[in-house]
Amino acid sequence: MVSTPHPIAYKQALFMMVAAALMITFGLTLSASANCGFVKDSDARALCRAKSQGSSGQCGFIKDSDQRAYCRAVVDKRNSQCGFIKSSDLRSQCRAETQSSNGGSQCGFIRDSDRRALCRAKSQKSTGQCGFIKNSDLRSLCRAVVGKNAGQCGFIKSSDLRSQCRSEAR
């Protein structure tokens, strides 16, 4: 005599499969966003969450008007919004990150050499530019984000940058 499994066992198995699929699907997004919770600065934390969730809703929590405009422009990929940013370095970085082609040309306007190299590395999608960064934390962030190697985040001393790195290097 062949016994058939109890109908409740089928329901439990189906529930477990659906739950596992949801955890895999949404768990990846939540884990990247969860790293943002360790960022101490509230503006940086909101920017981190907005970027990792791909939603500019978090940008509204940013107090600094330049950072808020940068957040909305970058997350929504709207280059036209970069013009509202007063800081020339941040405006150039914004334009570089939101331009679909030749964004690296805007990086040349960034005065800080480390930030300029980071901008070029991101726009060219090449870790070669990371070698020009003097600050070791920014250099590791660059290698992790551009090279999609989250292992580099462990070398970062600053807890805020390390959390940012872990959310971006995926």
Mean pLDDT, rounded, of the chain: 79
Per DSSP, the three-state class of 39 is: coil
Q: For residues 44-56, give the mean pLDDT.
A: 88
Residue 73 or 32, more confident: 73
Confidence band (pLDDT; 50, 70, 90) for 30?
very low
For 52-110, the pLDDT digits (tens) are 888 899 999 999 999 999 999 989 988 888 989 999 888 888 888 887 655 567 788 88
Tell me the whole-structure pTM to 2 decimals. Answer: 0.62
For 117-153, the pLDDT digits (tens) are 998 888 888 899 899 999 999 999 999 999 999 899 9
